[in-house]
Amino acid sequence: MPSVIVACTMLTIIENISPVFLVIGLGYLSRKLGFLPDSFIQSANRLVYYIAIPILIFGEISRGNFAESFNPGQIGATFLVVAVIFFLSLGIGGAMRLPPGGRATFSQTSFHGNLGYVGLAVVFYVLGNEGRAAASVLAGFLMLFQNFLSISLFTLLAGGGKKLSLGMVWKFLGNPIILATLLGLVFSAGGVRIPGFMTRTFSIVAEMALPLALLIIGGSLKPFSTRRLRLVALSTALKLAILPMAGFFLFRFIHLEPGAAGAAIIFLASPSATISYVMAAEMGGDKDLAAAAVTASTALSIITYTLWIGIMATS
């Protein structure tokens, strides 16, 4: 009987998560067929990044109960796990004697996840309505922490500090999703009520955010050379397996509430962020390694997400 229950659970998980990755696949196929040219992807990406997802995040958080949405234990534990993998990946890169730029990129792709596009989509579409506000808060704070670690990494290792400007720091730390999180918390904590017509407007815009984000992710995937296969495999293993595994055991050890733990593990298990390529290009990293790690981890995350959600559902 338990095996039947597990099989039914896994089937349900696959039914829930497969649409997310089918839309990503549709984006990839549409790009190949010429329906998503570079000009559209760039414009749509700006629309999603600067408008749609921030409105989605702000709407979810501002409507939520502040005491329930802001979970310091969840945020702190998630930060701790990311920091551990940050230092572990740095140590591995040093042991492998990677050049500074390659070491910075290897480390970043091992801990810096795609929360805004893939992580949020899996949380919203797989976990459902429950805990959306809390998950949105965690996403905003985790983005801030990831970006801080990444900037520090490239500044110290890859000579990125020479190229670092106030505008670049603002670009990575003051991104619209983080600002939407903070503004949403202010509205939630202050009990500010948003007029009904604005709430409905936000809902209309928010509904396009995640589907369009998934299409963009698919359309942005690029084939990569296998000459860095060992590094890509190791980075992907750290990102999709070791990082969420560390979170899983820590959350159980501190008895974190299952809903909060589930959202955190989904974020920890997200594939390497596409911003890894941008930072590698702008701050002296390894662009080819970043592109390969993003593509490989995104493609494999459908398998690892299914496994992690299954583990959480049956544990």
Domains and CATH numbers, the chain: 2-314 (1.20.1530.20)
pTM of the entire predicted model: 0.89
Q: SS3 sequence, 181-221?
A: HHHHHHHHHHCCCCCHHHHHHHHHHHHHHHHHHHHHHHHHC
Which DSSP category does 227 fall into?
G
**Segment 253-280, tens digit of pLDDT:** 999 999 899 999 999 999 999 888 888 8
Sign of CA dihedral 126, 128, 134, 136: positive
3-state SS class at 272: strand
Average predicted confidence (pLDDT) for the chain: 88
183-237 pLDDT per residue, tens:
999 998 888 888 999 999 999 999 999 999 999 999 988 776 667 789 999 999 9
Residue 7 Ramachandran class (φ > 0 left, ψ -120 to 50 alpha, else beta): alpha
The helix or strand, by DSSP H or E, that contains position 254, with its residue range, turns out to be: none
Residue 1 pLDDT > 50: no
Percent of the chain with pLDDT over 70: 90
